[in-house]
């Protein structure tokens, strides 16, 4: 039997620890990898100090000495950080595409990019195209013929209607809804619980039902 490959979770923050949980649920018999730790760049207090985990931080992702057999997985949901990590490491280590067994999809009619993460209880309909390092969090439902750009992130229980397009690096917050045939431009931010009924053509943060741009004052009140 060949030796299992080391798998490192990039990022030891909130989503990285969630990824540890999802990975721990995969039966040992179905793994050709072993969890080898987190890779995280930090100074001072460890991001794991106040949280239970069976892993440690194995090094800094920016200068870690990967072996040829190593794998890594995105434990980051922030689109701009995902892009930064992927562009720096894509020629140094293989990014694992993670599809949890409890996700519902038909791989014959899907395109899933390298480094994508699809969490439990997600439903992907036919002819969905998801780019590199896309994050699809628990319970999200994606209709037919949807396109998800590289580095985009869909948080928990998002609903995406058929033929919708989510641009590269866009972020869609938990429980948001994108109605069919609407498009979200690259880099846009859709707040939690928002309902997008019109195309989003700029990167202004949008919240509400229907989703609308926030004023500077409203942004300040939220901060």
Q: Tell me the pLDDT band of 106, cut-offs 50, 70 and 90.
A: confident
Domain 5-96 identical in fold to domain 97-208: no
Q: Which CATH class is domain 5-96?
A: alpha beta
- Phi/psi for 152 (5° steps) reads -70, 155
The span from the CA of 39 to the CA of 60, in Å, is: 5
Give the end-to-end CA distance of the chain in Å, rounded to a whole number.
Answer: 53
Q: Is the dihedral of CA 203, 208, 211, 216 positive or negative?
A: negative
The span from the CA of 74 to the CA of 17, in Å, is: 11
Q: Where are the domains of the chain?
A: 5-96, 97-208
Domain 97-208 matching CATH 2.160.10.10: the answer reads yes
Higher-confidence residue of 107 and 102: namely 102
Q: Are 173 and 211 in contact (CB under 8 A)?
A: no
Q: Around Cβ 124, how many Cβ atoms within 10 Å? A: 26
The span from the CA of 8 to the CA of 101, in Å, is: 20
Tens digits of per-residue pLDDT, 16-74?
Answer: 999 999 999 888 888 999 999 999 999 989 999 999 999 999 999 999 999 999 999 99
The span from the CA of 212 to the CA of 200, in Å, is: 9
Decide if pLDDT at 217 tops 80: no
Question: Average per-residue pLDDT in the chain?
Answer: 93
């Amino acid at each position: 039997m060949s030796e299992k490959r080391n798998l490192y979770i990039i990022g030891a923050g909130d989503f990285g620890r969630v990824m540890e949980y999802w990975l721990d649920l995969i039966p040992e018999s179905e793994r050709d990898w072993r969890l080898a730790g987190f890779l995280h760049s930090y100074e001072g207090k460890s991001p794991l100090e106040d949280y239970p985990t069976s892993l440690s931080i194995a090094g800094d992702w920016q200068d870690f000495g990967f072996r040829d057999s190593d794998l890594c997985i995105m434990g980051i949901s922030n689109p701009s950080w995902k892009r930064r990590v992927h562009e720096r490491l894509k020629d140094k280590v293989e990014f694992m595409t993670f599809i949890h067994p409890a996700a519902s999809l038909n791989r014959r009619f899907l395109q899933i990019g390298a480094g994508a993460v699809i969490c439990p209880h997600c439903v992907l309909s036919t002819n969905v195209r998801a780019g590199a390092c896309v994050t699809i969090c628990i319970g999200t439902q994606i209709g037919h013929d949807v396109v998800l750009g590289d580095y985009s992130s869909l948080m928990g229980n998002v609903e995406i209607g058929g033929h919708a397009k989510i641009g590269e690096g866009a972020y869609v917050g938990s429980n948001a809804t994108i109605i069919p045939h609407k498009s979200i431009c690259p880099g846009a931010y859709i707040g939690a619980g928002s309902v997008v009924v019109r195309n989003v053509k700029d990167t202004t943060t949008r919240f509400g039902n229907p989703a609308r741009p926030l004023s500077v004052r409203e942004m300040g009140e939220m901060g």
